[in-house]
Amino acid sequence: MIREVFAWLGLMLLRAIAKLPLSVVRRIGGLAGDLAWRLAAERRRVALTNLRLCFPDWSEARRTELARRHFRCFMSSFFERFIIWFEPPARVRALVEVRGLEHYEPYRGKPTIFLAPHFVGLDAGGVRLQMDVGGASMYANQKSKVLTRAMTRGRSRGEGVRMLLRNEGLRPAIRLIRDGVPFYFLPDMDLGRRDAIFVSFFGVEAATVVSVARIAQMTGAAVIPFVTRMSETGYVAQTYPAWTDFPGDDLAAATRRMNAFIEQRVLEMPEQYLWTHKRFKTRPPGEPGVYGAPRGDRR
């Protein structure tokens, strides 16, 4: 009960901050990112480990600077998320520009998957897209009921938008996709071995869900990449042409193709990728873990 009260108070504060001009909210986010870099030792360690694995040829100084920038971007996007979730639709539309939506038009009303990798603008692009085309997506319950309700409400702003719980499995999603409801799919998290295979991500074997390829195979869905970039004035959500000849008969090759696309986008804006996620937590049989035990380092 006490935790829920604090969660409610925190939510009210965040909604109040969201009413400020974007430049102020972003400045608050940047300062919070610098603070998180100093205090969140475990997340800092995860980010640096990921960067060492993915960019072994970079200097430690370069990786550290990128990680610091990521923390600023991540915390800025966190505060700005409450603009996206709760401010009037007109402000959201002004804040988030959608480009390339003509790539979706041939598939409107047909099975479609919007492939949305984990960049910091994920929520901004997803909410803005669903304001235009509706759709559905998945989420995981938070520890706080207050935050879960806020997140669900915030991510359901478009007409007829549906949010599915991850623990319900993929069957509800498959039914919606078959009915022509565009599905906003987040494909690049380590969710364990279930429904995953090991394919390369920046040269490191990563447990990667085959759900995108499998669902496309089952439903005939078009897979349309959709990537959101944080810009100086807000966000730009880029819709890419639907992938041709996807997934084909080789699920491993299709999944590697997906990872290769994400790699290309990461190289375009490396500070905006979610480096604080334990992307390589699940290891191939016989390989040791890469994250080790938490340390109390203060850098």
pLDDT digits (tens, 9 = 90+) for 74-108: 999 999 999 999 999 999 999 999 999 999 999 99
Residue 165 maps to a domain = yes
Q: Dihedral sign, CA of 225, 229, 235, 238?
A: negative
Pick from 228, 259, 221: nearest CA to 242: 221
Q: What angle do CA 203, 64, 95 make, to 5 degrees?
A: 90
User: How is 51-92 classified by DSSP, letter by letter?
Assistant: HHHH-TTS-HHHHHHHHHHHHHHHHHHHHHHHHHHHS-HHHH
Residue 297 maps to a domain = no
Residue, of 148 and 23, whose pLDDT is higher: 23
Residue 133, domain extent = 2-272
Residue 15 maps to a domain = yes
Pick from 52, 45, 72, 66: nearest CA to 276: 45
Q: How many angstroms from the chain centroid is the CA of residue 211?
A: 16
Residue 211 maps to a domain = yes
The total of structural domains in the chain comes to 1
CATH number for 22 = 3.40.1130
Q: How many angstroms from the chain centroid is the CA of residue 210?
A: 17
| Cβ partners under 8 Å of residue 257, min gap 6 | 243, 246
Produce one character per residue of 163-191: b if its CB has 16 or more CB atoms within 10 Å, e if not. bbeeeeebeebbebbeeebbbbbbbbbbe
Residue 251 maps to a domain = yes
**Amino acid identity, position 197:** I
Q: What is the mean pLDDT of the chain?
A: 92
Pick from 204, 210, 195, 193: nearest CA to 280: 204
What is the distance between the alpha carbons of residues 149 and 139, in angstroms, rounded to a whole number?
11
pLDDT digits (tens, 9 = 90+) for 10-55: 899 999 999 999 999 999 999 999 999 999 999 999 999 999 999 9
Residue 285 maps to a domain = no
Q: pTM of the full predicted structure?
A: 0.92
Instruction: Give the model's confidence band at 161: pLDDT under 50 very low, under 70 low, under 90 confident, else very high.
Output: confident
Instruction: Give the model's confidence band at 122: pLDDT under 50 very low, under 70 low, under 90 confident, else very high.
Output: very high
Q: How many angstroms from the chain centroid is the CA of residue 171?
A: 22
Strand order through the sheet with 162-165: 96-99, 234-239, 222-231, 112-115, 183-185, 136-139, 162-165
Instruction: Give the model's confidence band at 296: pLDDT under 50 very low, under 70 low, under 90 confident, else very high.
Output: very low
Which pLDDT score, from 0 to 100, does residue 156 have? 82
Residue 132 maps to a domain = yes
